[in-house]
Amino acid sequence: MKQYLLVGILFLFTATSYAKIRLPNILGSNMVLQQKSTTKLWGWAEPGEKIKITTSWDNKVSENVADGNAKWQIDIQTPQAGGPYSITLQGNNKIVLENILIGEVWVCSGQSNMEWSYNQGITSIKDEFSQLNTRNIRLFNIPKTTSQTPQDNNEGNWSVCDSNAIKNFSAVGYYFGKHLNEDLDVPIGLIGSNWGGTPAEVWTPEELVNNNTVLKEGATNNKPTAWWPVSPGYAYNAMIAPLVNYKIAGTIWYQGESNKETASTYTELINTMVGSWRKAWNKEFPFYYVQIAPFRYERHGVGALLREAQAKNLTTKNTGMVVISDLVTDTLNIHPTNKKDVGLRLANLALVETYGLKKDAHKSPMFKSLTIKDKEAILDFDYATSGLVLKGDQPKELFIAGADKVFYPATVKIKGNQLLVSNKQVKAPVAVRYQFSNTGIGNIFTKNNLPMAPFRTDNWEIDTSPLK
C-alpha cells in the first residue's frame, strides 16, 4: 500500500511540476542572446497549456502550446546589440526575465587550460577587477557533470561579470570575451563548459566514437580515473547537449594534452566532434582552438605528434588555430600561466575571420612547401606576408637532415617569407624540422610578433619511447 501511495505522490508531483511554465537554466535573467538572429526560447509546461512571450525590445507577442510531452518552443527575433531588455512569459504562471543583453555568444570548452581561472592561480585576472563594471560581459559556468544519455537541462545560471563571478571562470574565455567586447563594442555572453583532464572523446557523442573502429580503439587508451570522465559522450551529454537550442556565434577550444598518446586518431576525432556539435546546433559555426604548449611529457615525441595532428584540423572549414609556444616559460608546468595572450590571439582570430575586422596579424606562419637547391633547403610559408624575423643570433629548435635521417642543428637565412636552411654536414638535404619535440620553443616570428607553428617536412617514424 505504501508503495502505491508513493507512486501516487510522485505522479501528482510530476503532473503539478509541469502545470507551470518551466525554463532550462540557460534561459534566465542576465543572459546574452545572439544578436540579429532567430532565437529559440523553450521549456516545459502542462500539455496543451498556451505560452505567450513578450519581448521588450519590440513589444512583440509570440505564442505556442505545450505538446503532449509537456514541451514547448517559440522562435523570437533578436535586434542588433543592445539592452538591457526583458522577456515576459505568461501561461498558468508568469515569468519575467530581466537585465537581458543582446550581443555575441561564445562557448568556451576543453580541459584544464581552458578551465584554469583566478581561483586556480591565474592571478593576472585581479588586474581586471576595477574595470569589469565598464564591460557588458555575462558568464554562464556549467558545473562538472556527466550523463550516459543526452540531457535537456544542466545546472548553472547567468551572472554579470563582476569580481566575484570571474574568479571561477575560464581566464582564457574571459580574455577572449574582453577583447571582443572592446573591439566590437557589443555585449558578450560566455558559456564555460570545460573539465580538466578530459580527453576529447568525452565531448563527442558516444555513438560516433563507438561506431568508428579507429576512434573506438583510440578511446581504449583513456584509462579510468576518479577525477574526470573518460567514457565517450559523458561530458557531451551533460554539458553540451543541453545548450544546442541556444543560439551561439561560435566556440573556442583548448584541449589535447589528455589525447597525447593517440595523436594518430586525434585529427579524425576532433573533426568528428566539431561536426557533431555543428549538426546539433544546425550551424557551421567557427571553431577556434589552441595548439598545446611545450611540456615535458613522460614519452618522447608525443607532444610534437599531437601538435601536428591539431594543425591538420585546419583543413576543416571555418576553423582556426593559435600557436602559443612563445608564451611558455616553464616546460615542467602543463598549465602555462599566461592566459591573457592566449585569449587575445583567439579573439584576433575571431575578430578577423568571423567579424571581418582588420588586424595586423592573426595567424601564425604555417609550413607550406619545401624545395631543395644544391645544399640548401628552401621553405615557404603561409600567413607570413609581413615577413619573418629571427629573434637572436642563431635559430633554436631548427634541424636539417639528409637521407640518413640524422638531424643536425641548422643555420638559417631569411628572405621575406622564406627560410633558407642548411648545415655543412648535410650535403644533400632531405628534411627539415622546427620545434618538433615535446619541449621545443623556437625563435622565428612574423614581423607582427606571432610565432611560427611547429612543423616537419618528413613523415619518418617518431620515437615515442619513455623518457629515461
The rounded distance, in Å, linking the Cα atoms of 389 and 452 is: 10
312-359 confidence digits (pLDDT tens): 999 999 999 999 999 999 999 999 999 999 999 999 999 999 999 999
According to DSSP, the β-strands at 94-110 and 32-34 are parallel
354-405 confidence digits (pLDDT tens): 999 999 889 999 999 999 999 999 999 999 999 999 999 999 999 999 999 9
Residues in the chain: 468
Is it true that 2-101 and 103-353 share their CATH fold?
A: no
Q: Which of 349, 228, 342, 365 is nearest to 293 (CA)?
A: 342
Q: What is the pLDDT of residue 443?
A: 98
Q: What is the pLDDT of residue 229?
A: 96
Going from the first residue of the chain to its last (468 residues), give the mean pLDDT of each consecutive group of 10, the final group possibly shorter. 36 50 98 98 98 98 97 98 98 98 99 98 94 92 98 97 97 98 98 98 98 95 92 98 99 98 97 99 99 98 99 98 98 98 98 96 96 97 96 97 98 97 98 98 97 98 95
Q: Who contacts 2 (Cβ-Cβ below 8 Å, separation ≥6)?
A: none
Q: Could you count the other beta carbons within 10 Å of the beta carbon of residue 69?
A: 9
pTM: 0.95
- The interaxial angle of helices 171-184 and 340-353, nearest 10 deg, is 40
Scanning the structure block, which residue is given the C-alpha cell 572592446? 182
> What are the sequence ranges of the domains in the chain?
2-101, 103-353, 366-456
Distances (CA, A) of 44 to 41, 71, 88, 246: 11, 4, 15, 16
The rounded distance, in Å, linking the Cα atoms of 89 and 94 is: 6
The answer to whether domain 103-353 has CATH 3.40.50.2000 is no
What is the 3 state secondary structure string of the chain? CHHHHHHHHHHHHHHHHCCCCECCCCCCCCCEEECCCEEEEEEECCCCCEEEEEECCCCEEEEEECCCCCEEEEEEECCCCEEEEEEEEECCCEEEEEEEEEEEEEEEEECHHHHCCHHHCCHHHHHHHHHHHHCCEEEEECCCCCCCCCCCCCCCCEEECCCCHHHHCCHHHHHHHHHHHHHHCCCEEEEEEECCCCCHHHHCCHHHHHCCHHHHHHHCCCCCCCCCCCCCCHHHHHHHHHHCCCCCCEEEEECCHHHHHHHHHHHHHHHHHHHHHHHHHCCCCCEEEECCCCCCCCECCHHHHHHHHHHHHHHCCCEEEECCHHHCCCCCCCCCCCCHHHHHHHHHHHHHHCCCCCCCCCCCCEEEEEEEECCEEEEEEECCCCCEEECCCCCCCEEEECCCCCEEECEEEEECCEEEEECCCCCCCCEEEECCCCCCCCCEEECCCCECCCEECCCCCCCCCECC
Contact status, residue 351 vs residue 429, Cβ threshold 8 Å:
no
Max Cα–Cα distance, the chain, nearest Å: 93
The rounded distance, in Å, linking the Cα atoms of 292 and 283 is: 27
Q: Who contacts 210 (Cβ-Cβ below 8 Å, separation ≥6)?
A: 216, 219, 232
Q: What is the pLDDT of residue 223?
A: 87
Q: Report the topology of domain 2-101.
A: Immunoglobulin-like (2.60.40)
As to burial, measured by CB atoms within 10 angstroms (0-12 exposed, 13-18 middle, 19+ buried), residue 435 is: buried
Q: Who contacts 3 (Cβ-Cβ below 8 Å, separation ≥6)?
A: none
Scanning the structure block, which residue is given the C-alpha cell 585529427? 267
Q: What angle do CA 403, 409, 411 make, to 5 degrees?
A: 105
Q: What angle do CA 95, 98, 100 make, to 5 degrees?
A: 125
Q: What is the pLDDT of residue 15?
A: 42
Give percent above pLDDT 90 in the chain: 93
Q: What is the pLDDT of residue 16?
A: 44
Q: Is 380 left (phi over 0), alpha (psi -120 to 50) or beta?
A: beta
Q: What is the pLDDT of residue 134?
A: 79
The rounded distance, in Å, linking the Cα atoms of 178 and 127 is: 13
Q: Return the amino acid letter for 161.
A: C
